[in-house]
Amino acid sequence: MTAVDQGSELPNQSPSKSSALETTLTRNWLRRGPLVCALWPVSLLFRALSGLRAALFRAGVLKSSRLPVPVVVVGNIYIGGTGKTPLTIWLVQALQEAGMTPGVISRGHGSDGVHGREVVAASTPEQVGDEPLLIKQRTGCPVMVGRDRAVTGRALLAAHPEVDILLTDDGLQHYALQRDVEIILFDGRGAGNGWLLPAGPLREPVSRRRDFTVINAPLLTEELVRNVGGRAIQMTLEGQYAEQLIDRSQRRSLASLAGTDLRLAAAAGIGNPSRFFGMLKAAGLAIAELPLPDHHDFQDRPFAALDADLILMTEKDAVKCAQIEELRGDPRLWVVPVTARIDGALADQIVEKCRGRSFA
């Protein structure tokens, strides 16, 4: 078995050529070195095409649909994970506390839904995606997935006429659905080198309009705020305890794990695993890191050869591991729920912006 060397990064599965290329690009997207400079002319073409597409929607050449309730888009222009799901969960709960009845629509990574499939307790990540399933588990609000978000939104409203506001988890570039509020989320990487794909990490320019900018980072510096376009709301993710996957009623505080002789490992199949690892280290834990690809399906049993007493994982990963019998029964696996901390005024401002729209 592979022994845990706390404070180090564990070897991952042999990377494919495509994943190796992706890793190389990801690292270079934080600066303007020779590689990305060579790709810059291609990014200009990408920018022109994406800008033309957006302009055609604004001009009405490409058709978009408006739903009978306000639509709030939670998305990013930085490719990969920035923390949209925790923000969406926070926003659902904040709107519920404000007396509204939100519903959530999503593409659902890996889901097999085409025109709208409701997420229910018996849904699997293969059917609806890991993030929509987590949103359903954490909030209990109606959640539906589908490729066409306008069709999916109508299907959700038909099934749940009490819903008076829709959140779309991702879908910032899905202009076929009109929206009332746009929230763009960044993390500590900011806008990277500021260039569009493939020379940089951005799908759209930083100058793109939005209603709110949220930065998921423990510290906001002036440089970081300028990098994403100025004026931002801070979001932090906090985890205070871990729950055993085999029995979620079994709970241990992270503080109780700090300074122990337990061999601790941490696994994260999210867009930016270092964010999860950093949170655990900030809690005083000495961990061996096992970064995995975003939306990792865990069918390759990545923990089989891992010699660790406890393996900490994200909730997003836990919804998939709970579907695999071998992993579901592994007593070493512990889930660390995280909670987003954001200024509550954000929800108030969203409600104010949506006021005046006809609610269902």
Q: Which two tokens stand for residue 293?
A: 């690809």
Residue of 64, 133, 179 whose CA lies nearest to 319: 133
What are the Cα distances from residue 231, in Å, to 30, 107, 223?
Answer: 21, 29, 12
Let me know: does 255 contact 227? Beta carbons within 8 Å.
Answer: no
| Helix (H) or strand (E) segment spanning residue 279 | helix 273-282
Let me know: does 300 contact 13? Beta carbons within 8 Å.
Answer: yes
Q: Which residues contact 141 (CB under 8 A, 6 or more apart)?
A: 92, 96, 101, 102, 103, 104, 135
Residue 221 assigned to a binding site: no
Residue 152 assigned to a binding site: no
Q: Strands of 247-253's sheet, edge to edge?
A: 247-253, 241-244, 333-336, 310-314, 264-268, 288-291
Residue 83 assigned to a binding site: yes
In whole angstroms, what separates CA 330 from the centre of its chain? 26
Strands 102-106 and 212-216, by their bridges, are unpaired
Report the C-alpha gap between 136 and 125 in whole angstroms.
12
Report the C-alpha gap between 9 and 179 in whole angstroms.
42
Amino acid at site 275: R
Report the C-alpha gap between 165 and 326 in whole angstroms.
40
Report the C-alpha gap between 35 and 199 in whole angstroms.
8
Residue 342 assigned to a binding site: no
Residue 82 assigned to a binding site: yes
Let me know: does 152 contact 146? Beta carbons within 8 Å.
Answer: yes
Residue 320 assigned to a binding site: no
Binding-site residues, in ranges, read 78-85
Binding-site residues for ATP, in ranges, read 78-85
